[in-house]
Every structure is written in C-alpha cells, then in structure tokens.
Structure 1
Amino acid sequence: MTNKWLLLSAAILLEVAATLSLRAALDHPAWYTVVVVGYAGAFTALSLTLRQGMGIGVAYGVWAACGVALTAVLAALVFGDPLSIGMGVGIVLVIGGVLCVELGAQAAHRERRDADGRQGETA
C-alpha cells in the first residue's frame, strides 16, 4: 500500500520539478535536460504506481491536483508569479475534488470486497 503512494509522490515531485525547469529553460536552455528527465521520470513513476494497483482516476487526480498546487506555490516563490486569493480558492477546490474521488474509490473498494465476501458465503 505504501509503495504506491511513495511512487505517486515521486511522480508528483518529478513533474513539478520538470514544469518549473521548463520555466527556467526559457532563459537558460540547459534546464531543458531537467525538463526531459523530470517528465520521463514522472510518467515512469506514475505508470509504476498504476502497476501497484492504484486506480487511474485516483492516481491521475492526486498527481494533477498536487502538481497544480505545488507548481503554483513554488512558481510564486521562485519566479515571483502571482498567487491571488482566487487562485488559492481554485487550488483548494481542486484538492477537495480529488479528495472526493479518493474517498469514493475507497468506498467502492469496500463495497466490492463486502459483496465478494457475501458471494463466497453462499457458494
């Protein structure tokens, strides 16, 4: 269980690093190396997360939401990009939506497990 969350965390961090490097590469093209390695690593870690059994809806949702939130905050800190209250509200809404997807996925897994258990009792 923990393995897939560690892999997903790595995918998020690699994607954020690649995205921030993409911005840095506009002025210093050497950063494109970090962009390529970061995105390749992010997609590799994301695919390994899926191989560990995490659902695509949950994995992609968490990856995207955390990526958006971290990128926005770090871009404000590193590059001086604007981060308004409205943007903050949007980030909170995205994270809330992903939380709803994750909680719904957990409930669906419990229902399926319970249904499988009931079927096994009648067999």
Structure 2
Amino acid sequence: MMWLALTGAIVVEVFATLALRASDGLRRKVWLGPVVAGYVASFYLLWLALSCGVPVGIAYGIWTACGVALVAVLARFLFREPLTPVMMLGIALIASGVFTIELAGVTH
C-alpha cells in the first residue's frame, strides 16, 4: 500500500506540474483546476505513504527524483523543451543519489 501511494503521488505530481506548464503562467485558466487538484492529491498521497511507514528521506527523495526525471522527459515530447546530454547526466546523478540514500536506509 505504501509504495502504491508513493507511486500515485509521483504520477499525480508530474501531471500537475505538466498542467502548470500548459497553463502558460496561469494565463490559461482552464488548467488552474488540474494544477491545484493535482498538487493537493499528490501531497495527500505522499502523506499516506509516510503514514504507512516509508521513511521521509526515502519517500521525498524518490518523489522528487522521479518527478524531476519524468517532467523533464515528458516536457521534451509535450512542449518541445530541451533535454540535453548534460540534463540527462543530471537526471542520472539524481537517480543514483536517491538509490544511495535508499541503500543507506535499508541497512539501518
């Protein structure tokens, strides 16, 4: 249940962030509802994952790292934003950092 809640938090947060980008600085009001609802739902699901026992450092690390990576990749296709080799290296470094934190959390 806890990993399902965390996965849901990630998916909904990515959707909300992409909706925020689609809103063009909130000038396109039709996106305001999905942005607000998405972030509220994402924080609720993150809270649920934490209350089910996922350590906060691990949950937040996974949530943010997956969010950054997915938004960068999806924005490349949806909004034709750049995704350079240096950006991809940054995503890989974020992922390896989260993996390292998770491994350290497992040993305790």
| CA RMSD between the two structures | 0.7
- Bigger shift: residues 27-36 or 50-59: 27-36
Residue 15 of structure 1 aligns to a residue in which SS? Answer: helix
Partner of 2:23 in structure 1? 25
Larger radius of gyration: 1
Q: How does 1:1-123 map to 2 (within 5 A)?
A: 3-26=1-24, 28-108=28-108
Residue 30 of structure 1 aligns to a residue in which SS? Answer: helix
* Deviation of 1:93 (Å): 0.3
TM-score when scaled to structure 1? 0.84
Partner of 1:112 in structure 2? none
Partner of 1:116 in structure 2? none
Counterpart CA distance in 1 for 2:51 and 2:34 is: 25
* Deviation of 1:41 (Å): 0.3
Residue 68 of structure 1 aligns to a residue in which SS? Answer: helix
* Deviation of 1:58 (Å): 0.1
TM-score when scaled to structure 2? 0.96
Counterpart CA distance in 1 for 2:4 and 2:91 is: 22
Q: Which is richer in helix?
A: 1
Q: How many residues of Structure 1 are paired with residues of Structure 2 in the alignment?
A: 106
Identity of aligned residues (%): 46
Unmatched segments (≥5 aa) in structure 1: 109-123
Counterpart CA distance in 2 for 1:72 and 1:33 is: 22
